[in-house]
Chains A and B, each alone.
Chain A
Amino acid sequence: MNEKQQGIAPLVQVDQLAVTFYTPTGVVHAVRDASFEIMRGQVLGLVGESGCGKSTAAFAIMGYLPGIHRVEGHISFEGRDITEMSASEVRELRGNRIAMVYQDPATSLNPSMRVGPQVEESLQTNLNLSSQQAHERTVRLFESVGLADPANIGRRYPHELSGGMQQRIVIALALACDPDLLIMDEPTTGLDVTTEATILDLVVDLKRRVRAGILFVSHNLGVIARVADRVAVMYAGQVIEQAPVRELFKNTHHPYTAGLLSCVPRPISEDEVTTKLISIPGVVYEASRDDIDACLFASRCPMVQDQCQEEAPEMFNAGNEHESGCFFWNDVQKGLWEKEIPREEIDHEGSLVLTAENLRKFYGRWQRKYLFFGPRVKPPVRALVDADFDVRSGRTLGVVGESGSGKTTMARTVAGLTPRNRGELKLRGEDLAPEVEERNRQQRDALRMVFQNPTASLNPQLPISHTILRSLRKLAGLNRKESRERAAELLQAVGLDPAYLGRLPGELSGGEQQRVALAGAFAGNAEIIIADEAVSSLDVSVQAQVLDLLGKHQREEGTSYIFISHDLGVVRYVSDDIMVLYAGHVAESGPADSVLKPPMHPYTEALLSAAPVPDPDAKPTTIRLPGAVPTLLERFQGCFFAGRCPRKLGPICDQTPPPERVGPDSHDHVIYCHITVEELKAMQQ
């Protein structure tokens, strides 16, 4: 059945790999014990949370590790051990036999060199092609990775390409010399879901087309489920479970994997109820700590036994090519972590807290050719065009859309951080001034914002008590003693020890920092908390904790949220109402279930179709949006989505703005589309 049984040697065999870095601040055991094999024509998914050693393992195969380090174990590539090769032998493999695709295509391409020559130089060096041959081959490569205008795109610089196009260039570069092993390190992290979907399609297509082995590193189980044939799960530098993809998702045999799977909110569940997310308590066994004779997951494991603390488990064969590093692999079951209970749905309508009408924000102004004179040459950026929405008490408004669709602009105009140009914003019927400085104390207290990057939004020089106490004294009007007590309560509420009050932000992990930022937002008794991608940079297990925290606070205090995320699964999980933005326009808005089950607007449909589902048996989706959100410099004659709409009717979409239609299930459900609601509904059946 598989090649191994037919006696074909694996392409890559990683055997008890351990990588240790010696840094000025101490020893880091990035990889402790990783063993896996990659076959030709097979995609091995390497999955785990950040800091588990996935990327280090991948770079070790390239023979590329920074700083002072020690590599133990063996990495054999076609029978030769990479760890024992000389520098020039390794260089001959790189680019030629083993090639890599990186996480951030924007920084992985040389900014001052045209993209064509960046591929051509690899061909010229590795295959000794002439510049003419290299150029021709590059054009063919660009064509094969689905780049439009392959003959001319090579003359562009990286910054002239979108993120998806840049990643295709990097993939073309990796494929240039027909490598035997392709390593992809988080190749879609940081890309829009729509772009991610097209890149993943390309990877699936590559798997069939080239006879290379692929190592696909990702933290995203949905992405892994989509592309991998086999999956290895890493925890604290160890491979703790390994199995064919279906087997792993269906018969999980390690409590950590089971935990990861139930941390991830799923984008849609047409018939099933959304279950409450569980979270894995504690933190990953730190890389700075020494190896111990115990299971490294024991301190977080719900089924821990005495044996786990006394002896390190080996990999046990669980049949079906499934291996697990848990003594009690056979006892791992669904519901191990927590009973799967349905998420508490909010059924109350809520009173109106915030209403926005015709909210508009243009960045910049018309620029003239010669500073103050001459014809108008550059128009302003139409970031948010006449958006209407409202936020109700105790409910969450989820905002989705690709990057460049106006989500953050909308959040910032509501918070008053960027003044709106036009439109009305009312808080409980009272007018809100465009700029936060002009709003009165109560209005300022009522709106709090939590940002994407907690490290950047906390002052690194001040202890975290400052963030929280200041909000309490200024906003909630408590005195010194009261505020201390309340701060301790708040920290406990976000799952942190009150002793953290004296610490500096730098001493906390990213997840802890974000929880501090949330405690600060909770401190002011805000009526509305605006969370702009607040959980996007967090690992899934921490993300689950933060999401549950938000939910708990909402139930207790009746706070409303405006929740912005590019992750449809997360938005679906937290939202009561959803607003879909595209190119600064509201495409659709309404109660969450009406918007998503089933999707009506073609853009919502495309977003849902693109979202990766952590289930290898999920129905493959087919709707793809090529390209990116338009530049927003021009006013749309017709429908804002006409340029990319897969269900475009014809000239009417280009010429007339779409009418406002009311959805079939709810009066609050608004769809802007030329297609009638009945037809939209029929398309989903």
Chain B
Amino acid sequence: MVRFLAVRLSLIILTLLVVSVIIFMVTEVLPGDAAQQQLGQSATPESLAALRASMGLDRPAYVRYFDWIGSALQGDLGESLKYKKPVAEVIGPRLYNSVILLIFAFVISVPTAVITGVWAGVRRNSFGDQFVSIMSLVGISLPEFVTGILFIVIFASWLDWLPSSSILLPGTSPLTRPSILVLPTLTMTGVLFAYIMRMTRANVIDVMETDYVRTAILKGLPMRRIIFRHIIPNAMLPTISVIAVNIGWMLGGLIIVENVFAYPGIGSLLLVAIVSRDVPMLQALSLIIAMTYAVSNLFADLSYGLLNPRIRIS
């Protein structure tokens, strides 16, 4: 177990280092550097050069990379060009908001999706199964910005049950106004639910055709026991990696959903950073997203190992 964790953690660090190099290189080739950004198109070459020298932008790229990564490791992610504040200070509360949204979406979609998936898989080709399958296909085919706007039209404009936008005063937690969380959560849940449910259903169907389920049936066990002891534990194994991959998926959805609902999280912040070419902010956010991916995959592998005795890490 220690060996496994040590290996995996060092691999994650390695991955993040590679990612940081790539991020740095990408921001490097973007047209217009931070100095250009600050002074605008009409700046004279002399003033540009002076600002570059004062910001240290005239040094070679590798020196600036180590400078950046060195401070990042000490917790200093630099200063945001747009907000004129330390990056960490801007990201902090936004990250908190996003995490709350993610947790809600995750906690709601995963259990319901798994339960529905098992239910549909066991009743393969029944009316209920076909209904759920078709609905989930619809869910997958509709992108978040369509469902989000649809929800706004239905629940905010027509029915007027919920607020259409999720703007928060700076410094307040979304938990103080739970009503603004409902629609973003619902939108995020849609696609996630559909994916996980379809995957669970497919795995349940696969497992139901295995020899060991046949053995369980021919032992004379009641169906309930077969489902809970023999089908679900084995069908969950591949589903878990799908769920982990979906955490990454959710980060993509997060950017869209937060912008549709004007929710103050890191997704909307990322878009702002891109538009305003706020390079230090962009670098920091990309690193956070990469880290989330890596860590969620590690969790997936760990839980996979717990469920699957064949690769149980001893």
Given that A95-B221, A102-B211 are known contacts, is A157 also in contact with B6, CB under 8 Å in the complex? no
**Using Cβ atoms and an 8 Å threshold, which residues of chain B touch A170?**
215
Point out the residues of chain B lying under 8 angstroms from A92, CB to CB. Answer: 220
Given contacts A110-B212, A110-B230, contact A371 B218 (CB under 8 A): no
Question: Chain B residues near A113 (CB, 8 Å)?
Answer: 229-230, 233
A112 to chain B, nearest CB (A): 5
A159-B309, A371-B10 known; A109 vs B225 contact (CB < 8 Å): no
Contact present for B225 and A159 (CB under 8 Å) = no
Query: From residue 202 to 251 of chain B, which have CB atoms closer than 8 A to chain A?
Result: 210-212, 214-222, 225, 229-230, 233-234, 237
Interface centre among B219, B220, B234 (most CB of A within 10 A): B219
> Is A433 engaged at the interface, CB distance under 8 Å to the other chain?
no
Which of A95, A110, A157: most chain B CB closer than 10 A? A110
Per the bound structure, the CA–CA distance linking A157 and B212 in Å amounts to 13
**Partner pick for B310 among A96, A157, A173, CB 8 A cutoff:** A157
How many contacts A-B (CB < 8 Å)?
Answer: 81
B173 within 8 A of A: no
In the complex, what's the smallest C-beta–C-beta distance from B233 to chain A, in angstroms? 5
Q: How far is the CA of A413 from the CA of B308 in the complex (A)?
A: 34
Interfacial chain A residues near B307, Cβ < 8 Å: 112
B84 within 8 A of A: no
Q: Tell me if B221 and A108 are in contact (CB < 8 A).
A: no
Contact A369 B3 (CB under 8 A): yes
B212 and A108: CB pair below 8 A? Answer: yes
Q: Is the CB of A157 within 8 A of B309?
A: yes
* Contact between B212 and A95, CB atoms less than 8 A apart: no
How distant is the Cα of A108 from the Cα of B219 in the complex, in angstroms?
A: 12
Write the nearest CB–CB distance from A58 to chain B, whole angstroms.
11
Question: CA A92 – CA B307 in complex, angstroms?
Answer: 31
A111 lies within 8 A of B3 (CB): no
**A59 to chain B: closest CB distance in Å?**
9
CB distance from B5 to the nearest CB of A (A): 11
Chain A facing B: main interface SS: mixed
Residues of B within 8 A of A483 (CB): none
- Is A62 interfacial (CB-CB < 8 Å)? yes
Assess A370 versus B7: contact at CB under 8 Å? Given A110-B212, A112-B307: yes
CA separation between A109 and B211, bound complex, in Å? Answer: 8
Smallest CB separation, A86 vs chain B (Å): 14
A591 to B117, CA, bound (A): 62
Once the chains bind, are B6 and A95 in contact (CB under 8 Å)? no
Partner of A108, one of B3, B214, B225, B309: B214
Docked pose: A110 CA to B7 CA in angstroms: 30
Taking a contact as CB atoms under 8 Å apart, the answer to whether A108 and B211 are in contact is yes
Please report the C-alpha to C-alpha distance between residue A164 and residue B6 in the assembled complex, in whole angstroms. 37
| Nearest CB in chain B: distance from A113 CB, A | 7
> Are A121 and B214 in touch, CB under 8 angstroms?
no
User: A107–B220 contact, CB under 8 A?
Assistant: no
Chain A residue nearest to B307 (CB atoms) is A112
Q: Would you list which residues of chain A between 108 and 127 have a CB under 8 Å from chain B?
A: 108-113, 121-122, 125-126
Q: Please provide the 7 A-B residue pairs with the shortest distance between their CB atoms, ordered closest to farther.
A: A95-B220, A94-B220, A95-B219, A107-B211, A157-B309, A122-B219, A110-B212
- Given A94-B218, A111-B309, A112-B309, 17 more A-B residue pairs with CB atoms under 8 Å apart are A64-B214, A64-B218, A96-B220, A99-B219, A100-B218, A104-B211, A109-B215, A110-B229, A110-B230, A111-B234, A113-B229, A113-B233, A121-B219, A122-B221, A125-B225, A126-B219, A371-B10
